[in-house]
């Protein structure tokens, strides 16, 4: 997997598509960034960043780099 950014959930996803992402519904998220966490060529998990306030995502999001922030995990396999 690779990073997924949904800047506006209501615009990007239909009600049917939102059902595929229960966390979006249960947390009332309006924007989402999902960053894969790789460890030794295996997908270990996902770091999920979400907003609930209908504000635009920060412009600095493109500069988000977890490489040296989360220890042993990488974003790219």
Residues ≥6 apart with Cβ < 8 Å to 54:
30
43-72: average pLDDT: 79
pLDDT band at 66 (very low <50, low <70, confident <90, very high): low
pLDDT value of residue 77? 63
Query: Among 3.40.50.10490, 3.30.450.40, 3.40.50.2000, 3.90.25.10, what is the CATH number of 4-63?
Result: 3.30.450.40
44 and 38 in contact (C-beta within 8 Å)? yes
Scored b (16 or more CB within 10 A) or e, 8-35 reads ebeeebeeeeeeebeebeeeebbbbbbb
* Structure confidence by residue, pLDDT tens digits, 18-37: 999 999 999 999 999 998 88
Q: What percent of the chain has pLDDT over 90?
A: 49
Question: What is the token pair recorded at 47?
Answer: 């770091």
Q: pTM to 2 decimals?
A: 0.77
Mean pLDDT of all residues in the chain? 86
């Amino acid at each position: 997997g690779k990073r997924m950014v949904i800047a506006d959930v209501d615009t990007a996803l239909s009600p049917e598509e939102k059902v595929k992402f229960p966390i979006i519904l249960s947390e009332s998220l309006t924007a989402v960034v999902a960053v894969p966490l790789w460890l030794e060529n295996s997908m270990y998990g996902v770091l999920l960043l979400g907003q609930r306030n209908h504000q635009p995502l920060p412009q600095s999001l493109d500069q988000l780099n977890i490489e040296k922030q989360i220890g042993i995990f990488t974003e790219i396999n």
